[in-house]
Amino acid sequence: DAGVTQSPTHLIKTRGQHVTLRCSPISGHKSVSWYQQVLGQGPQFIFQYYEKEERGRGNFPDRFSARQFPNYSSELNVNALLLGDSALYLCASSLARVDTQYFGPGTRLTVL
């Protein structure tokens, strides 16, 4: 079975622009979580969605938003990009909200 997939793999944007990152969960998984990993640090929780509803939000500004679609795929949107948003963005899926999360390969975002 396919694992979690994310697109694009790499992305380069300039300050002030907007970006959309996409994630497809493992088949049958209904929960998707997003994490930001800055170089040299552990992943930081951004959002969790379960059954298309937001179930948790980390300490990130309102410039970050997300949604989950009826097929359980998800998008992470970041507006008004800052240099500090440069990071690896990881998506994880789980069967249900409290099950083990399996991570995708990530999208590496560079903001110039």
Partner 1 sequence: AQKVTQAQTEISVVEKEDVTLDCVYETRDTTYYLFWYKQPPSGELVFLIRRNSFDEQNEISGRYSWNFQKSTSSFNFTITASQVVDSAVYFCALSEDSGTYKYIFGTGTRLKVLA
Decide: is 95 part of the binding site for partner 1 (CB under 8 A): no
DSSP 62: T
Q: If DSSP codes are grouped into helix, strand and coil, which group holds residue 22? A: strand
- Point out which span in 15-23, 69-77, 78-86, 96-104 binds partner 1 (CB under 8 A): 96-104
Which of 73, 78, 63, 59 shows the shortest CA–CA distance to 19?
A: 78
Give Dmax (Cα) for the chain: 38
Decide: is 49 part of the binding site for partner 1 (CB under 8 A): no
According to DSSP, the residues that pair with 66 across neighbouring strands are 76
Decide: is 105 part of the binding site for partner 1 (CB under 8 A): yes
Residue 12 or 80 having the CB closest to partner 1: 12
Beta strands in 38-86 (DSSP E): 44-50, 53-57, 64-68, 74-78
- Point out which span in 12-20, 55-63, 64-72, 74-82 binds partner 1 (CB under 8 A): 55-63
Binding interface with partner 1 (CB under 8 A):
33, 35, 40-45, 48, 55-58, 88, 90, 92, 97-98, 100-106, 108
